[in-house]
Amino acid sequence: MSELFDQFVVEAQELLETAGGALLALERDPADRASVDELFRAFHTLKGASGLFDMAPFTRLVHAGEDTLSLLRDGRRGMTPELADRLFRALDQCARWVAALEDTGALPADAAQAAETLVGGLSGVSAEGTAGGGEAAGEADAFPWVTALAGEDREAVGAVAGVLTAIDYTPDPECFFTGDDPLALFRRVPDLRLLRIEPAEPLPPLAQMDPYRCMLRFRALSGAGVEAVTPAFRSVPDQVRIGSVMLAPAAAPPSANPIAMAPPGSLAAAMLEEQARILDLPGSAAERQSRSAAVARAVAAILTALGRPIDRAVVTAVCADAGTLRRFLADGPPENGPPEKPAAAEARPAPPRRALRVEPERMDALMALVGELSVVKGQLGPLVRRVGDGQLTRDMKAFSSRLDALVGDLRHAALRLRLLPLARVFDPLPRLVRDTARRLDKTVELVLEGAETEADKDILDVLGEPLLHLVRNALDHGIEVPERRAASGKPPGGTLLVRAFQDKGGVVVEVSDDGAGIDPAAMRKAAVAKGLLAPDAAAALDDDEAVRLVFAPGFSTAGSVSDLSGRGVGMDAVRAAVERAGGRVEIASTPGSGTRVRLSLPLTLSITRVVVVEAAGSLYGIPVAVVGGVQRVPRAEIRGVKRAESVVLRDRVVPLVRLRRLLGQSDDVGRRGNGGGADCVVLVELGDGPVAVAVDDVGERADVVLRPMTGVLRGLRGYAGTAVLGDGRLILVLDLRELL
């Protein structure tokens, strides 16, 4: 039982996810049959599966969802954003319940009430509809002919036993004179399943018949709800009775044998018979196939619950058609049944690929070892060079390069173990965009590209929150309301493009919108108004720098602060999170045509590429991710205003800081012979603009395993951690954002 329950939880999560995706697709294109079907199947399967456990509110809610979807599927109800909202709420509730089931094994205490509210919302809010549903059982007596329906008619109804709406219409004999055409009214009944036209009294011989007197009586069944059927008879409320009836499964379906696998009359027996009926339903080959798979799952689950687990392959085989399933259920599992054997063998699916679950700690340990190995391997090269010439050296060099290749491959393989597709962080976006756009009354199309791009799991974890924030921000501040877009000659619907791709050893995610863009002039003004910049400093900023002010702490670009994008802490937080992970944020905006924010992140957090620099005799590492370039600058080109220095690099005036000074080392520049009148400058691109960092010397670039500061050094700010270089020397890796 417990295994079955676990299986339910996992399946339910998958189904809810599928349903969410299908619902999004369906809202975008209400004519998308495949999505309706998928959504319906998800709800249907959830209903069946949840029925095996004691969770009535869950079953009730998904049942209501299924009913709603069957209306949608038959075109008796149209897809509206409101209906999508309600279905989303139902899915959200189910997801919360599944989470609770996983944690505690039971639904929360308020589940019944929550289900009631959501079911009310789904059934079209009308009190009438709710009342009709509630009275379903009681009203069955009011339509005795329904229970007396013969097998053939039942078949015509095609109902997988359930709630139907019965119509009993005895027109006023004089109705033809008032222009009524009783038969025509039934053309307007949605999902009419059965219409029986009978004389209300024995018809007289033709000669004595008054052709203008109505002598017929109409009885009908509809699959639609009471509230959907009632409008058709609005003109004749006194002549019609409409009510919900529960059509019980036929007492003895023509082809059914008693079910031996389950106690006769039990719920399980009814459910098993139901599965056979599902197989009987008409449909395309694909529909039938997916149905038979669902049926096989349900049958297997029911049998397991009954304590009669059957080999899955056998179940799959017998679920190929209704006749086989009924025979199987009636006769029990084939003891030595040769006819079933070949079928079972044929249908046995290939063993599913099973994902191997590994504790994250073990992965980390492996990564650390691989990291150490590449560092140790790095020490071999210098050693070999020291050996000098000769056969031995040549052999050692060959050996060393083979080792290099192998360690490279090993590192690559180990890294790949941790790689996951970005789809993981893209998944929540469609729903977020949909909900947000609706709340803001904007029309936005989300385009996702490169979801298959892979990145380290740690990077994905870092990426998730900032990405959500950027998307929210683009919807809130970027894309304009349709009227404003139309006024500026754009299509009323905005487009939000989220694109991921691999780029020189890292992964890049871009969020671009075709919205209003950021006005640099407004940014300067706002920065001054908020006291972030002095007026002259603001005026000195070029447009790109002004736009980059969005990343400054305490900045909000919108005229009014909305509940969506927070209060200006967001973009700063995005930058901080990305830079903490050794990444970089860039923004480009064209007023009137849109904004693009680009997050560049390293492929992995486990190995960091650093530029080794020297200052006051010690080695430091600067993460390559923030380094924009390295060059020598003649000392004459460094302009000093008091102690503040600046230099023109790539046509930009860049503030210059000296690493010695930053680290509190002696700043005796003059005594340094190195460089001969020039300084080594590392151009560092931080979120709020470039900074030139003057160092004594710049060394190699190296891949290092970054070890965070621990113990008493933990509180030390300005350092990302320590690392060992290939030759065994220890370096401190700088966190320049903290340091500057």
Partner 1 sequence: MPIRYDADLARFEAACTVEDALPLAEWLEATVAPRVDLSACTDLHTALLQLLLAARPAMTAGPEDAFLARYVGSALRLQ
Binding site for partner 1 (CB under 8 A): 171, 176, 180-184, 186-187, 192, 195-197, 199, 203-207, 209, 211-212, 214-216
- The residue (of 165 and 275) whose beta carbon lies closer to partner 1 is 165
Query: Are 499 and 450 contacting, i.e. CB atoms less than 8 angstroms apart?
Result: yes
Dihedral over Cα of 218, 224, 226, 232: its sign: negative
In whole angstroms, how close is the CB of 242 to partner 1 at the nearest point? Answer: 18
Smallest Cα–Cα separation from 102: which of 229, 10, 166?
Answer: 10
Residue 707 per-residue DSSP state = B
Rounded to an integer, what distance in angstroms lies between the CA atom of residue 186 and that of residue 141? 23
**Residue with Cβ nearer partner 1 (29 or 198):** 198
Q: Which residues contact 610 (CB under 8 A, 6 or more apart)?
A: 621, 622, 623, 624, 701, 702, 704, 723, 731, 733
Report the residue number, 75 or 408, with the smaller CB distance to partner 1. Answer: 75
CB of 170 or CB of 400, closer to partner 1: 170
Asked if 496 and 433 count as a contact pair (C-beta separation under 8 A), the reply is yes
- Residue 254: phi, psi to the nearest 5? -50, -40
CB of 176 to partner 1, least distance (A): 5
Closest CB 262 distance from partner 1, rounded Å: 36
Residue closer to partner 1, measured from CB, 116 or 153: 153
Is the Cβ of residue 154 or residue 326 nearer to partner 1 in the bound state?
A: 154
Tell me the closest approach of the beta carbon of residue 204 to partner 1, in angstroms: 8
Q: Closest CB to partner 1 among 156 and 306?
A: 156
Q: How far is the CB of 285 from partner 1 (least distance, A)?
A: 24
Nearest-approach distance from CB 322 to partner 1, in angstroms:
24
Q: How far is the CB of 243 from partner 1 (least distance, A)?
A: 21
Nearer to partner 1, 212 or 399 (CB): 212
Distances (CA, A) of 464 to 426, 460, 470, 556: 8, 6, 10, 21
- Determine the Cα–Cα distance for residues 192 and 187; give it in Å rounded to an integer: 8
Q: Among residues 187 and 362, whose Cβ is nearest to partner 1?
A: 187
Q: In the bound complex, what is the minimum distance in angstroms from residue 199's beta carbon to partner 1?
A: 7
- DSSP calls for 528-577: HHTTSS-HHHHHHS-HHHHHGGGGSTT---SSS--SSSTTS-HHHHHHHH
- Choice between 200 and 561, CB closer to partner 1: 200
Shortest reach from residue 279's CB to partner 1, in Å: 24
Residue 474 to residue 508: CA distance in whole angstroms = 18
When the beta carbons of 132 and 171 are compared against partner 1, the nearer one is: 171
Q: For residues 626 and 536, is the Cβ–Cβ distance under 8 A?
A: no
Minimum CB separation from partner 1 for residue 153, in Å? Answer: 11
CA 107/CA 404 separation, integer angstroms: 56
CA distance 296 to 313: 9
Q: Minimum distance between the CB of residue 260 and partner 1, rounded to whole angstroms?
A: 37
Shortest spacing between CB 169 and partner 1, in angstroms: 11
Report the 3 state secondary structure along 70-118.
HHHHCCCCCCCHHHHHHHHHHHHHHHHHHHHHHHHCCCCCCHHHHHHHH
240 or 269: whose CB is closer to partner 1? Answer: 240
Cβ 174 to partner 1 shortest distance, Å: 12
107 CB burial (10 A radius; 0-12, 13-18, 19+): buried
Q: How many CB atoms lie within 10 A of CB 709?
A: 16
Q: From the CB of 197, what's the least distance to partner 1, in Å?
A: 5
* Helices 81-104/56-73 angle, 10° precision: 150
Nearer Cβ to partner 1, position 167 or 422?
167
Long-range contacts of 361-369 (CB under 8 A, 24+ apart): 363/417, 363/418, 364/606, 366/414, 366/417, 367/414, 367/415, 367/418, 367/606, 368/606, 368/705
Q: Taking every pair of C-alpha atoms in the chain, what is the biggest distance, in angstroms?
A: 130
Q: Where are the alpha helices (DSSP H) in 186-284?
A: 226-229, 267-280
Nearer to partner 1, 102 or 180 (CB): 180
CB 196 within 8 A of CB 157: no
> Which residue lies nearer to partner 1 by CB, 187 or 642?
187
Is 31 or 207 the residue whose CB approaches partner 1 more closely? 207
* Smallest gap from residue 180 Cβ to partner 1 (A): 8
Measured from the CB atom, the residue of 97 and 169 that comes closer to partner 1 is 169
Whether the Cβ atoms of residue 448 and residue 495 lie closer than 8 Å to each other: no
Q: Dihedral sign, CA of 128, 130, 135, 139?
A: positive
Taking each helix axis from N to C end, the angle separating 457-473 and 570-580, rounded to the nearest 10 degrees, works out to: 160
Closest CB 280 distance from partner 1, rounded Å: 19
Q: Are strands 730-734 and 618-623 parallel, antiparallel or unpaired?
A: parallel
DSSP state of 177: G
Looking at the Cβ atoms of 145 and 176, the one nearer to partner 1 is 176
Smallest gap from residue 294 Cβ to partner 1 (A): 29
In the numeric block, the tokens 């009978």 are attached to 198
Angle, vertex CA 698, rays to CA 692 and CA 703, nearest 5: 105
Q: 554 near 530, Cβ under 8 Å?
A: yes
Least distance from partner 1 to the Cβ atom of residue 229, Å: 15
Return the number of other C-beta atoms located less than 10 Å from residue 210's C-beta: 10
Q: Identify residue 239 by its one-letter amino acid code.
A: Q
